[in-house]
């Protein structure tokens, strides 16, 4: 039998991604799945026969943004009348038919558990008069067996857990991504090995509460040990963990495995027990302190970043000051800080009035940011004069004579490249200066050694 001939005019697909790293990983999965079905990926919407918006429902004004983007894309239908526009992901799950009512030129609405059916849904949409909608949540779907499209980088993602069982009152994720489920360890390992075989040196394991990962008898500590064995992968990251799901066994495992990076994003949300209770976060301030203390005891140099929401309903000035005070004590390396805004469909949006005036939220947020900037700068400066191992990514955009990379705790590093350096090399540098966002190692004796990539 002659080998199959490549399709000379494959259907061209453009995927645009919004939101978190999990959505980026899902877009790679979608691109891989469509490539296997003969679709061709393109890098701009005007080259495409199908435009897919992989959306996020977490960010503020996400709904307006997606309607705005979908109507901007409408103009491409005038030059390509067969063009299909699809809305995928959390927003599709959250709004369902409402997208079809508000954006009638959208042809396809597909939730995060229906991507396996996407090739068929696209074929249906090509001949349908009404939008094709598939937003069924499937608590067994972990996308086992699929091969994400690789971007040819040095740092890749593997989704090890989908959904969330925590139901924090401000969050839409459990409703848009369904219940928590872990990907089988053999499947995680297959994907990590695939990345290593393609030259990736770093992998980030993704989950909404990644450290509560379970699959049959395996937990997150077991999975980390198995991933650690994959040769070619030099660094392992994971995000985002849930504070009270750090067992002592897991903390010891993190400390023991040298490839696991000494950096952690640990969402706190508030420094007040009353507010945490109202958010239904499932821990108290003293639980959080205990976890940070335990992590720092076992991993002394660990960098910890966090998320904070200010102005949650009924937050008093005293409760806000408890957050300021806790942040002064814990001294996070960095923080993503937001003023609370209601997300439709969440428990809080239905039961807890958004009672704090916007001006108060804004003022509290400004105070919090000011304080954190000074703590962050002080934490950053501790690296000056110390040796740091950097995963080299490539020439710096500002000055191509210098290179850019990431330290183990995910700080941007600018350094003088040693001769013969390649992307993916591990380079030991001595930090000469630190700005609030970057470590700089340029000039004499900045580079102490380099380890070639595999
Ligand atoms: S842990 Fe809470 S904030 Fe995080 S995804 Fe689950 S419900 Fe949302």
What residue owns the CA closest to ligand 1's atom 2?
A: 168
Residues 78 and 163 occupy one common structural domain: no
* More confidently predicted of 76 and 452: 76
Tokens of 163: 């959904």
173 Cα to the center of ligand 1, angstroms: 6
19 Cα to the center of ligand 1, angstroms: 15
Residues 237 and 315 occupy one common structural domain: no
Residues 254 and 204 occupy one common structural domain: yes
Residues 378 and 400 occupy one common structural domain: no
387 Cα to the center of ligand 1, angstroms: 36
Closest by alpha carbon to 308, among 355, 350, 361?
A: 361
Query: What is the position in ligand 1's atom list of the atom closest to the CA of 208?
Result: 5
Q: What is the CATH number of the domain that holds 157?
A: 3.30.750.210
Q: What is the CATH number of the domain that holds 48?
A: 3.40.50.12160
Return the residue matching tokens 């679709």. Answer: 39
Local structure of residue 400 (DSSP, 8 states): T
CA angle, 312 then 313 then 319, to 5°: 65
pLDDT of residue 308: 98
Tokens of 197: 């075989």
Closest by alpha carbon to 223, among 266, 183, 177, 196?
A: 183
Residue 58 in domain: yes
Does residue 391 contact residue 346 with C-beta atoms inside 8 Å? no
Q: How do residues 150-202 score in pLDDT, each as one tens digit?
A: 767 899 999 999 999 999 999 999 999 999 999 999 999 999 999 999 999 99
Q: How do residues 261-294 score in pLDDT, each as one tens digit?
A: 999 999 999 999 999 999 999 999 999 999 999 9
- In this structure, the strands spanning 40-41 and 12-17 are parallel
Residue 7 in domain: no
85 Cα to the center of ligand 1, angstroms: 30
349 Cα to the center of ligand 1, angstroms: 15
242 Cα to the center of ligand 1, angstroms: 8
Residue 144 in domain: no
Q: Is residue 454 over pLDDT 50?
A: no
Mean of pLDDT values over 289-304 = 97
Return the residue matching tokens 């709904």. Answer: 63
What residue owns the CA closest to ligand 1's atom 1?
A: 166
- What radius of gyration do the chain's Cα atoms show? 23
Q: Which helix (H) or strand (E) holds 427?
A: strand 426-430
187-191, 363-367, 424-428 — which is least confidently predicted? Answer: 424-428
Mean model confidence pLDDT for the chain: 93
Of 206, 237, 261, which one is at a domain's C-terminal end?
Answer: 261
Q: How do residues 374-422 score in pLDDT, each as one tens digit?
A: 999 999 999 999 999 999 999 998 898 999 999 998 999 999 998 899 9
Q: Is residue 355 over pLDDT 80?
A: yes
Tokens of 112: 């995060």
Residue 141 in domain: no
Query: What is the position in ligand 1's atom list of the atom closest to the CA of 171?
Result: 8
Residues 56 and 103 occupy one common structural domain: yes
Phi, then psi, of 87 in degrees rounded to 5: -110, 120
Of 352, 382, 412, which one is at a domain's C-terminal end?
Answer: 382
Q: Give CA–CA dist 303/332, Å, rounded.
A: 7
Query: What is the position in ligand 1's atom list of the atom closest to the CA of 167?
Result: 7
What residue owns the CA closest to ligand 1's atom 4?
A: 208
Residues 162 and 203 occupy one common structural domain: yes
Residues 111 and 54 occupy one common structural domain: yes
Out of 112, 163, 168, 280, mutate this one to test ligand 1's pocket (max ligand atoms within 8 Å of CB): namely 168
Residue 384 makes CB contacts below 8 A (sequence gap 6+) with 431, 432, 433, 434
Q: What is the CATH number of the domain that holds 365?
A: 3.30.750.200
Q: What is the CATH number of the domain that holds 392?
A: 2.40.50
196 Cα to the center of ligand 1, angstroms: 30
Closest by alpha carbon to 148, among 44, 35, 238?
A: 35
306 Cα to the center of ligand 1, angstroms: 14
Q: How many domains does the chain have?
A: 4
Residue 184 in domain: yes
Residues 218 and 251 occupy one common structural domain: yes
Query: What is the position in ligand 1's atom list of the atom closest to the CA of 165?
Result: 6
Residues 302 and 413 occupy one common structural domain: no
208 Cα to the center of ligand 1, angstroms: 7
The alpha carbon of 61 is separated from its chain's Cα centroid by a whole number of angstroms, namely 19
- In this structure, the strands spanning 50-55 and 12-17 are parallel
Q: What is the largest CA-CA distance in the chain?
A: 77
Q: Give CA–CA dist 94/19, Å, rounded.
A: 15
Domain limits at 82?
12-134
Identify any residues that bridge with 202 across adjacent strands, giving them in sequence order. Answer: 155, 235
pLDDT of residue 10: 81
Residues 89 and 29 occupy one common structural domain: yes
Q: Give CA–CA dist 421/403, Å, rounded.
A: 9
352 Cα to the center of ligand 1, angstroms: 17
Out of 180, 206, 209, mutate this one to test ligand 1's pocket (max ligand atoms within 8 Å of CB): namely 209
Other Cβ atoms closer than 10 A to 231: 8
Of 221, 238, 261, which one is at a domain's C-terminal end?
Answer: 261
Query: What is the position in ligand 1's atom list of the atom closest to the CA of 240?
Result: 4
Residues 375 and 391 occupy one common structural domain: no
Does residue 397 contact residue 404 with C-beta atoms inside 8 Å? yes
Extract long-range pairs of 394-401: CB within 8 Å, 24+ residues apart: 394/423
Residue 118 in domain: yes
Cis peptide before 368 (omega within 30 of 0): no
211 Cα to the center of ligand 1, angstroms: 13
Query: What is the position in ligand 1's atom list of the atom closest to the CA of 269?
Result: 3
Residue 177 in domain: yes
Mean of pLDDT values over 79-97 = 94
The alpha carbon of 153 is separated from its chain's Cα centroid by a whole number of angstroms, namely 16
Closest by alpha carbon to 291, among 336, 251, 341?
A: 251
Cis peptide before 240 (omega within 30 of 0): yes
> Is the pTM here over 0.85, yes or no?
yes
Residue 155 in domain: yes
Query: What is the position in ligand 1's atom list of the atom closest to the CA of 209?
Result: 1
Q: Which helix (H) or strand (E) holds 134?
A: strand 132-134
Q: Give CA–CA dist 162/183, Å, rounded.
A: 8
pLDDT of residue 1: 43
Residues 115 and 173 occupy one common structural domain: no
Q: How far is CA 216 from CA 65, 161, 219, in A?
A: 40, 13, 8
pLDDT of residue 147: 86
Q: Give CA–CA dist 372/146, Å, rounded.
A: 42
Q: Is residue 22 over pLDDT 60?
A: yes
Closest by alpha carbon to 388, among 359, 410, 408?
A: 408
Contact residues of ligand 1, CB 6 A cut-off: 164, 166-168, 171, 173-174, 208-209, 242
Closest by alpha carbon to 311, among 338, 344, 280?
A: 338
Out of 19, 23, 174, mutate this one to test ligand 1's pocket (max ligand atoms within 8 Å of CB): namely 174
Closest by alpha carbon to 258, among 239, 234, 238?
A: 234
Q: Which helix (H) or strand (E) holds 447?
A: strand 447-451
């Amino acid at each position: 039998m002659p080998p199959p001939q490549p399709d000379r005019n494959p259907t061209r697909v453009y995927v645009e991604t919004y939101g978190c790293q999990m959505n980026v990983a899902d877009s790679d999965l979608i691109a891989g799945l469509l490539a296997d079905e003969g679709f061709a990926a393109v890098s701009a919407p005007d080259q495409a026969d199908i435009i897919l918006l992989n959306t996020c429902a977490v960010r503020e004004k996400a709904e307006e943004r997606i309607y705005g983007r979908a109507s901007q894309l409408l103009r491409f239908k005038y030059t390509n009348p067969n063009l299909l526009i699809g809305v995928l992901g959390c927003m599709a799950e959250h709004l369902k038919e409402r997208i079809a009512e508000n954006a009638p030129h959208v042809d396809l609405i597909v939730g995060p558990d229906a991507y396996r059916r996407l090739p068929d849904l696209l074929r249906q949409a090509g001949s349908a008069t009404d939008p094709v909608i598939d937003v069924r949540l499937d608590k067994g779907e972990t996308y086992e067996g699929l091969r994400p499209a690789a971007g040819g980088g040095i740092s890749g993602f593997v989704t090890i857990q989908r959904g969330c069982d925590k139901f924090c009152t401000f969050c839409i994720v459990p409703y848009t991504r369904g219940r928590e489920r872990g990907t089988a360890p053999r499947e995680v390992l297959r994907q990590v090995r695939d990345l290593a075989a393609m030259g990736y040196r770093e992998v980030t394991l993704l989950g909404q509460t990644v450290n509560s990962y379970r699959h049959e008898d395996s937990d997150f500590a077991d999975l980390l040990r198995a991933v650690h064995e994959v040769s070619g992968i030099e660094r392992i990251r994971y995000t985002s963990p849930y504070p009270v799901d750090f067992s002592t066994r897991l903390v010891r495992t993190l400390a023991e495995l040298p490839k696991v990076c000494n950096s952690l994003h640990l969402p706190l949300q508030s420094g007040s027990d009353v507010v945490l209770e109202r958010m239904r976060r499932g821990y108290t301030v003293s639980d959080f302190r205990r976890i940070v203390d335990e992590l720092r005891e076992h991993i002394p140099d660990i960098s910890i970043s966090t998320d904070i929401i200010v102005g949650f309903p009924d937050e008093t000035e005293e409760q806000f000051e408890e957050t300021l005070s806790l942040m002064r004590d814990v001294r996070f390396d960095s923080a993503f800080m937001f003023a609370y805004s209601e997300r439709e469909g969440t428990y809080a949006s239905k039961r807890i009035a958004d009672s704090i005036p916007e001006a108060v939220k804004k003022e509290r947020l400004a105070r919090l940011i000011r304080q954190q900037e000074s703590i962050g700068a002080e934490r950053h400066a501790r690296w000056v004069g110390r040796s740091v191992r950097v995963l080299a990514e490539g020439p710096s955009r500002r000055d191509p004579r210098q290179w850019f990379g990431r330290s183990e705790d995910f700080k941007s590093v600018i350094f003088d490249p040693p001769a013969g350096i390649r992307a993916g090399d591990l380079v030991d540098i001595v930090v000469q200066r630190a700005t609030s966002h970057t470590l700089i190692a340029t000039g004499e004796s900045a580079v102490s050694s380099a380890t070639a990539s595999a």
